[in-house]
Amino acid sequence: MKNKSSRNGLPKNVGPLRDTGLSLAGVRPFLINLRAMDFLATSEGQLFVGVAVALIAIGAAYFLLSPKKPKVCLDPEKFKEFKLVKKTQISHNVAKFKFALPTPTSVLGLPIGQHISCRGRDSQGEEVIKPYTPTTLDSDVGYFELVIKMYPQGRMSHHFREMREGDYLSVKGPKGRFKYQPGQKRAFGMLAGGSGITPMFQVARAILENPNDHTKVHLIYANVTYEDILLKDEIDSLAKNYPGRFYVYYVLNQPLEVWNGGVGFVSKEMIQAHCPAPSSDIQILRCGPPPMNKAMAGHLEALGYSAEMQFQF
pLDDT of residue 57: 58
Using the predicted structure, report yes or no on whether residue 210 has a pLDDT greater than 60.
yes
Question: What's the pLDDT tens digit per position in 218-243?
Answer: 999 999 999 999 999 999 999 999 99
Active site residue 275: no
| 73 carries an active-site annotation | no
Q: What is the pLDDT of residue 190?
A: 99
CB atoms within 10 A of CB 177: 9
Question: Is 131 annotated as a binding-site member?
Answer: yes
> Mean pLDDT in the chain?
87
Provide the pLDDT for residue 83.
Answer: 99
pLDDT tier, 72 (very low <50, low <70, confident <90, very high otherwise): confident
132 is in an annotated binding site: yes
Which band of pLDDT confidence, cut at 50, 70 and 90, is reported for residue 10? very low
pLDDT in tens, 120-171: 999 999 999 999 999 999 999 999 999 999 999 999 999 999 999 999 999 9
Q: What is the pTM of this model?
A: 0.76
Residue ranges of domains in the chain, CATH in brackets: 17-65 (no CATH), 80-175 (2.40.30.10), 187-312 (3.40.50.80)
What percentage of the chain exceeds 90 in pLDDT? 76
| Residue tagged active-site, from 73, 133, 180, 250 | 133
Residue 71, pLDDT score: 77
Selecting among 158, 287, 299, 305, the annotated active-site residue is: 287
Let me know if 115 is a catalytic residue. Answer: yes
